[in-house]
Amino acid sequence: MKRIVILSGAGMSAESGISTFRDSNGLWQNHRIEEVASPEAWQKNPAMVLEFYNQRRKQLFEVEPNEGHKALAKLESAYHVQIITQNVDDLHERAGSTQVIHLHGELKKARSTVDPNLIYTLNHWELKLGDTCEKGSQLRPHIVWFGEAVPFMDKAVSIAKTADIFMVVGTSMVVYPAAGLIHYVPRNIPKYYIDPKAFHVHGIENMQVIQQKAGNALPKLVNDLLKDL
């Protein structure tokens, strides 16, 4: 089976109703996203940080996967598909994709502030000050914040190197190291960049730039890829 590797970002879930980061100026209640999603913000104002993620988590319990997510899940009938997402939602999984790496963490999980190996799945939206891990320490969102290491990056790089086809969907390609993943992909394989603001990435060959929404472009592209076999 050929291997398709997909890097997805916030635009992937836009048509499900989850707003992207930078399309709306990246502001949340007048804070820059970096000021909410950082270890410094957590030190300074944990209640505000918890509230930011509580609102996003609450919304996640109300939205559904869109046509783009569903199309990618269909690819598994004929390809080995690995999704590497910057998104913290679970919409790829809910659409049926089985191999999903979350580079920036997962909204529906919380983890201990003393032991990063203690990770808990939340089945409710609210994480509060005073919610603790089994060692008695405050729980934090299981999110990779600005300035923190991206634990799955090495794994993502190894996977990118093995791709026969590579897709980038719904990401502004400005946040590193995720945006650098494309530079590890084999030079000559077909690549697609689907995003209304997609652009030719400097130094990348064989890339088709598709300036469309994921929900429009992916069902068609997936059909073509399934037909081409």
Measured CA to CA, the distance from residue 176 to residue 157 in angstroms comes to 13
Catalogue the E-assigned strands of 128-224. 139-143, 165-169, 191-194, 207-210
Any contact of residue 141 with ligand APR (CB under 6 A)?
no
Q: At closest approach, how far in Å is the CB of 18 from ligand APR?
A: 10
Nearer to ligand APR, 133 or 167 (CB): 167
Residue 179 CB, nearest distance to ligand APR (Å)? 8
Show which residues are catalytic: 104
Binding mask of the shown chain, residues 25 to 44, with x at each position contacting ligand APR by CB under 6 A:
--------x-----------
Among 1, 17, 23, 199, which residue interacts with ligand APR (rule: CB under 6 A)? 23
End-to-end CA distance of the chain: 10
Q: Compute CA distances 124 → 29, 94, 128, 144, 202, whole Å.
A: 23, 17, 11, 20, 43
* 197 is an interface residue for ligand APR by CB under 6 A: yes
| Binding segment (CB under 6 A) for ligand APR, from list 5-13, 89-97, 128-136, 185-193 | 5-13
Contacts of 175 (CB under 8 A, 6+ apart): 86
Using CB under 6 A as the binding rule, whether residue 22 contacts ligand APR is answered as yes
> Per rule CB under 6 A, is residue 148 in the interface with ligand APR?
no
Q: How many chain residues interact with ligand APR (CB under 6 A)?
A: 22
Under rule CB under 6 A, residue 54 binds ligand APR: no
Asked whether the beta carbons of 84 and 8 are under 8 A apart, the reply is yes
Of these, 16, 112, 138, 171, which contacts ligand APR (CB under 6 A)?
171
82 binds ligand APR (CB under 6 A): no
Residue 83 in tokens: 């999704």
What 34-38 contacts at long range (C-beta under 8 Å, 24+ apart), as own/partner pairs, is 34/146, 37/143, 37/145, 37/146, 38/145, 38/146, 38/147
Q: What angle do CA 132, 134, 137 make, to 5 degrees?
A: 40
> What is the number of the residue whose Cβ is closest to ligand APR?
11
86 touching ligand APR, by CB under 6 A = yes
Stretch that binds ligand APR, among 45-53, 158-166, 193-201, 221-229 (CB under 6 A): 193-201
Residues forming the site for ligand APR (CB under 6 A) = 9-11, 14-15, 20-23, 33, 86, 104, 170-172, 174-175, 195-197, 213-214
